[in-house]
Chains A and B, each alone.
Chain A
Amino acid sequence: MKQENIRNFSIIAHIDHGKSTLADRILEITNAISKREVKEQMLDNMDIERERGITIKLNTVRLNYHYKGEDYTLNLIDTPGHVDFSYEVSRSLAASDGAILVVDATQGVEAQTIANMYLALDNNLTIIPVINKIDLPSADIKKVKQELIDTFGFKDEEIILTSAKTGEGIKEVVETLIEKVPAPSGDPDLPLKALIFDSLYDSYRGVLTLARVVDGELKVGDKIEFLETGSTYEVTELFVYNPNFLKVDSLKSGEVGYIAASIKNISDVKVGDTITNSKNPCTEALPGYKPMQQVVFTGLYPTETNKYNDLRDALEKLKLNDASLTFEPETSEALGFGFRCGFLGLLHMDVIEERLEREFNLNLIATSPSVIYEVLKTDGEVIKIDSPQKLPEITKVKTISEPYILANIFTPSEYIGSLMELCQNKRGIYKTLEYLTPERAILHYELPLSEIVYDFFDKLKSISKGYASFDYELIGYKPSNLVKMDILVNGVLVDALSTIVHKDFAYNRGKVVVNNLKAIIPRQLFVVPIQAAIGSKVIARADIKAMRKDVLAKCYGGDVSRKKKLLEKQKEGKKRMKQIGNVEIPQEAFLTVLRDEEIDG
């Protein structure tokens, strides 16, 4: 393939604006897959992605298209839409030369439309604006067009109208892409230089590295070197994905593909690193990526203590596929040995936990998420803590500062009042309110990050009936009147249930937490008091009544195997709980301490 006939591009959009469906249609018209094969959202591989209708991991697929007498190769690099995954977005954009910006004709420009658009501009990409879902009765093409023109300065005539559902406009998108997006600029005659932008683990082949060749050529049998880690390997196989793995002999400058090199050591492959040929190395590494900032931290513990090593192996494998995950060993008196893990956000945390449970068959307990606090001690030392347990004794603490974000909330104007109330309850500081149009506004608030990590996003969505969207950036630390709230179950302090709360909100929060724990912890053989305390002062208490009934009244004729099975199942259920003192605490309990309202029922 001639380099000038290659196009590397991404699709960027706000979540749910139809990016994955648009990708499916492009796959279809480039005949990468027959219509019969189209499962909804072809590029979303993971079960979790299909179930939740979101794209988490980026996927790359090579497509062929014949246009004006020439054959073109199009490398489509899919991107996730959720705010937590903007790191993945920036990785895929670094490997692209152009981007299709998709906006939903019924929703218009949203928070992540803007955030992703700015990322694309930072990478000097050629942008092709597309209004999707024009087949829907509620589509308002004129209004959305105007938003695109006003917000980003597009011209009316360059905006393409599509329906990924009916296929309308898809051909135009592909052909515009060929016309407008520049061919890759690398030099095939220079020494090999390739950018690693993803990797995955294959049990037969070891680590598969996904890379874009910038300069030179990569061939099977080549000795390659990773510049940052310094390790060298021999290339055993090269693949492109179309969307099945297809073996190729070489990857030339501008091309994107998977490299197999019998890499067993997961830590040798770092996303953002540069690959070169060890016989004829390039002199300079590619810029790579800024290391990603983890904002949410949680302790992950296996429910069975002998699964600690399995959890470590699983985290290492996931880390290979997800550079933004961090973890280090942690010990809890209540939960034993586990890991303190850092995530980009709550959804990211959720997805990792679910993948650990599903793909690695682990039973986990996650402690309540925490942010990083800055503690100024009385001796003048400043320490950073990512867990309430690490907070020094209160007498040694002068001030505690917490990270703040600037939240940009896009909303129809009718929800402004309720959203302001939400921000106020989350200790928000009002900044400004801008009207995009009389019906749409952007609300700017400064909020403590700790207040949004738990349920802010869900509440925002429910208050606005799904119409509001939000994006945020970290703006630094501010001192707050914070205290550590401990939870005692049956008189025993459970370290994993401690949280850091604002003093003014502590009483109320304490009451909610003990009541929620009361609802979640099953009755035991005895009465169990649950107490919230600050220092030695108890601020709230609820008692779990003793168990009254746990019996199988009827035994089915002689079918006593069934009774045994039921007892075994009950025992298995207990295993998923954590025994603390003489009380069994289910997994959910560790997360509920952050809820700020009571569970129904």
Chain B
Amino acid sequence: MASSVYIHIPFCSHICTYCAFTKFYYNKKMVTDYLNTLEKEIKERYQGEILKTLYIGGGTPSSLDISDLKELFKILKVFKFQDDYEFTIEVNPENLTFDKIKLFKENKVNRISMGVESTNINCLKYLGRCHDFSLVKDKIKLLKEFGFNNINVDLIYALKNQSLEDLKKDLDNLLSLDVQHISTYSLMIEDKTILKLKGEEEIDEDKDYLMYDLIRKTLKKHGYFHYEISNFAKEGYESKHNLVYWANSEYYGFGLASASFLGNTRTTNTNNFKKYLEGDYYSEIEKLDKNDILSYALILGFRLIKGINKKEFYNKYHVELDSLYNIKDLIKDKKLIDKGGNIYISYDKIYIENSILINFVGE
């Protein structure tokens, strides 16, 4: 049974150079049509489960104006929450206003994820962002004044011409915000992004590694707990929503290009706006057999630094974790560690995790 919901808001007030998500420039008419269809989709699909987490991502949800957001929250009234629920919304500093924050507070939002990405003006320009760090500081302060005490900031690193000193300065700045959660992403230059079209390339892997190492050492030193490849949190502030993904649990995804996992089926919604409005939601349906489900459990579970708990795994899937694939050999090779009831990727290998995870996919 699903107890998590993701909602995609595919609108932005500007387009960032690295973004490969489905998104459109903000347009009032499109937003109105979209929200109408979103409401329809939720009514058709949501079975009334009590929710543990709700996540509104994008795009840029904060690019919607007050009236759009009011309409959105009206739609979300259909969801029922358990007591210790987590309700996150993604925001950008430049369009996060006093009124919007107030609206979030009034509508049960209790976690904010802000796209800070960098605090260096040249890096921000390279990424096509249109804010600066002083604006970030102001907005974080405002959020705190409204009583938001569970805030995430995103950081992108490994940019062309970015030095280790630049990154260090970024980290110092982020630490000064004193937020509960920091997500850090090494820049990927993906197809259909402005950077790709400009012919930009990713930086060399040795430097990337040094940057990653600096991040994890610095954040750990300052009390952030490294719990997932890219994510750091103060004790007790891990993203409950993302943990649902890593635990291979069920969730709904509503809206354009969003993904769902329900029963033994993973579906991906269309990224075609017109089709979506016509109610033709799904573009891909993947029916999973027992092996697929186990494969997902492993490639997701091993993203967590603590890995997968053997007992929980057995209770859920009725099969011993270390009997799967070549896990025993990987333990022998010291790529996986079997300790304290969990199996996890050796901490010095998590940055080359894919070369371990490919053991658990395909034939």
Taking Cβ atoms with an 8 Å cutoff, the residues of A that contact B are 523, 525, 545, 547-564, 567-568, 570-572, 574
With A and B bound together, what is the CA distance between A553 and B350 in angstroms? Answer: 11
Contact check, A525 vs B230: say whether CB atoms are below 8 A apart: no
A550 x B355 contact (CB < 8 A): yes
B25 CB–A CB distance under 8 Å: no
Q: How far is the CB of B192 from chain A (nearest CB, A)?
A: 13
Q: Is B361 an interface residue (CB 8 A)?
A: yes
A497 → chain B closest CB, angstroms: 24
In whole angstroms, what is the CA distance A523 to B353 when docked? 14
Contact A558 B361, beta carbon cutoff 8 Å: no
Contact yes or no, B209 A549, CB < 8 A: yes
Q: Is the CB of A564 within 8 A of B259?
A: no
- Given contacts A547-B352, A550-B352, A553-B230, whether A560 and B361 have CB atoms under 8 Å apart is no
**Are B186 and A558 in contact, CB atoms less than 8 angstroms apart?**
no
B253 within 8 Å of A (CB atoms): yes
Query: Which residues of B are interface residues toward A (Cβ below 8 A)?
Result: 6, 8, 21, 55, 57, 184-186, 188, 205-206, 208-209, 212, 229-230, 245, 251, 253, 257-261, 266, 268, 284, 286, 295-296, 299-300, 303, 349-355, 357-358, 360-362
Interchain nearest-CB distance for B66 vs A (Å) = 25
Contact A568 B299 (CB under 8 A): no
Residues A570 and B259 in contact in the complex (CB < 8 Å), given A548-B206, A555-B245: no
Question: Which residues of the other chain, B, contact A563 by a CB distance below 8 angstroms?
Answer: 299-300
| Residue numbers in A under 8 Å from B21 (CB-CB) | 556
Q: Which of A547, A556, A562 contacts B205 (CB 8 A)?
A: A547
State in angstroms the CA–CA spacing of A58 and B259 once bound together: 54
The answer, among A547, A554, A570, for a CB contact under 8 Å with B358, is A570
Let me know if A554 and B354 touch, CB within 8 A: no
Knowing A558-B245, A563-B299, A564-B299, the reply to whether A552 touches B354 (Cβ < 8 A) is yes
Tell me whether A557 and B258 are in contact (CB under 8 A): yes
Contacts of A550 in B (CB 8 A): 351-355
Instruction: Determine the distance from Cα of A68 to Cα of B357 in the docked complex, in whole angstroms.
Output: 77
Q: Given A560-B300, A564-B361, are A549 and B208 neighbors across the interface (CB < 8 Å)?
A: yes
**Bound CA span A551–B358, Å:** 11
> Across the interface, which residues of B come within 8 angstroms of A567, CB to CB?
299, 354, 357-358, 360-362
Known pairs A548-B352, A567-B362 / 5 extra A-B pairs, C-beta < 8 Å: A550-B353, A552-B354, A554-B230, A557-B259, A568-B362
CA separation between A545 and B204, bound complex, in Å?
12
In the complex, the answer to whether B229 meets A558 with C-beta atoms within 8 Å is no
Q: How far is the CB of A548 from chain B (nearest CB, A)?
A: 4
A525 close to B284 (CB less than 8 A):
no
The reply to whether A572 and B208 form a contact with Cβ atoms under 8 Å apart is no
Q: How far is the CB of A366 from chain B (nearest CB, A)?
A: 25
- If the complex has contacts A549-B209, A551-B353, are A557 and B253 also in contact, measured as CB distance less than 8 A? yes
With A557-B258, A558-B259, A558-B261 as contacts: A549 and B205 at CB distance below 8 Å:
yes
Contacting residue for A571 out of B253, B258, B353, B362, CB 8 A: B362
Residues of A contacting B185 with CB < 8 Å? 553-554
Q: State A557–B286 Cα separation when bound (angstroms).
A: 17
- Who on chain A is nearest to B190 by CB? A554
Quick one: closest A residue to B57, CB to CB?
A: A557
Whether the Cβ atoms of A558 and B350 lie closer than 8 Å is no
- Knowing A553-B230, A558-B253 touch, does A525 contact B362 (C-beta < 8 A)? no
A-side contacts of B258, CB under 8 Å:
557-559
Give the shortest distance, in Å, between A577 (CB) and chain B (any CB): 12
Closest 6 CB pairs of A and B: A548-B209, A549-B205, A559-B259, A550-B352, A558-B259, A571-B358
A523 to B185, CA, bound (A): 22
Q: Inside 8 A of B260's CB, which chain A residues have their CB? A: 558
* Contact partners of B362 in chain A: CB under 8 A: 567-568, 571-572
Give the interface centre of A545, A552, A562, A570 by most chain B CB atoms within 10 Å.
A552
Of B245, B303, B362, the most chain A CB neighbours within 10 A belong to B362
* CB-based nearest A residue for B260: A558
Q: Which residues on the B side are within 8 Å of A558 (C-beta)?
A: 6, 245, 251, 253, 258-261
CB distance from B116 to the nearest CB of A (A): 15
Q: With the chains together, A525 CA to B188 CA distance in Å?
A: 21
The docked-state distance in angstroms from the alpha carbon of A550 to that of B205 is 9
A-B contact list, 21 entries, CB within 8 Å: A548-B205, A548-B352, A549-B351, A550-B352, A550-B353, A551-B352, A552-B188, A553-B184, A554-B230, A555-B303, A556-B259, A557-B55, A558-B251, A559-B253, A559-B259, A559-B268, A561-B284, A564-B295, A567-B361, A567-B362, A568-B361
Which residues of the partner chain A approach B299 to less than 8 Å between Cβ atoms? 560, 563-564, 567
Q: Least Cβ distance of B213 to chain A in Å?
A: 10
Specify which chain A residues have a CB less than 8 angstroms from the CB of B208 in the assembled complex: 548-549
Q: Which residues of B contact A568 (CB under 8 A)?
A: 361-362
A558-B54 Cα distance, complex, nearest whole Å: 12
Cβ B6 vs Cβ A557 within 8 A: yes
Cα A525 to Cα B259 in complex, Å, equals 33
B-side contacts of A561, CB under 8 Å? 259, 266, 268, 284, 286
Kindly report which residue of chain A lies nearest to residue B266, judged by CB atoms: A561
Question: What is the CA–CA distance of A545 and B188 in the complex, to the nearest angstrom?
Answer: 22
With a CB–CB cut-off of 8 A, which chain A residues contact B253?
A: 557-559
Write out the residue numbers on chain A whose beta carbons fall within 8 Å of the beta carbon of B361: 564, 567-568, 571
Complex CA gap A528/B91 in Å reads: 46
Q: Cα distance A552–B286 when bound, in Å?
A: 21
- A57-B93 Cα distance, complex, nearest whole Å: 65
> What is the distance, in angstroms, from A404's C-beta to the closest C-beta of chain B?
45
Closest chain-A Cβ to B203's Cβ sits at a distance in Å of 10
Residue on A nearest B208 in the bound complex, by CB: A549
Contacts of A560 in B (CB 8 A): 245, 259, 261, 266, 296, 299-300
A140 CB to closest chain B CB (Å) equals 41
Which chain A residues border B286 with CB–CB below 8 Å? 561
Which of A525, A545, A562, A564 lies in contact with B296, CB distance below 8 A?
A564
Determine whether the beta carbon of A551 is less than 8 Å from that of B350.
yes
- Which of B6, B55, B295, B354 contacts A551, CB < 8 Å? B354
How many Å lie between the Cα of A562 and that of B257 in the bound state? Answer: 12
Could you say which residues of chain A place their CB within 8 Å of the CB of B355?
525, 547, 550
Q: How far is the CA of A552 from the CA of B228 in the complex (A)?
A: 12
In the complex, A550 Cα to B349 Cα: how many Å?
A: 10
Residue on A nearest B20 in the bound complex, by CB: A556
CA distance A554 to B286 in the complex (A): 21
Alpha-carbon gap, A568 to B355, bound state (A): 11
A554 CB, nearest partner CB in chain B, Å = 5
Instruction: Report whether B206 and A545 are in contact in the complex, using a CB–CB cutoff of 8 Å.
Output: yes
In the complex, A555→B248 CA distance in Å? 13
Q: Are B259 and A551 in contact (CB under 8 A)?
A: no
Bound Cα distance from A567 to B362, whole angstroms:
9
**B269 (CB) vs chain A CBs: closest residue:** A559
Give the distance in Å from the alpha carbon of A572 to the alpha carbon of B362 in the complex. 8
Q: Which residues from chain B contact A574 at a C-beta distance below 8 Å?
A: 358
A597 to chain B, nearest CB (A): 23
**Measured between alpha carbons, how far is A359 from B358 in the docked complex, in Å?**
29
Expressed in whole angstroms, the Cα–Cα distance for A107 and B174 within the complex equals 67
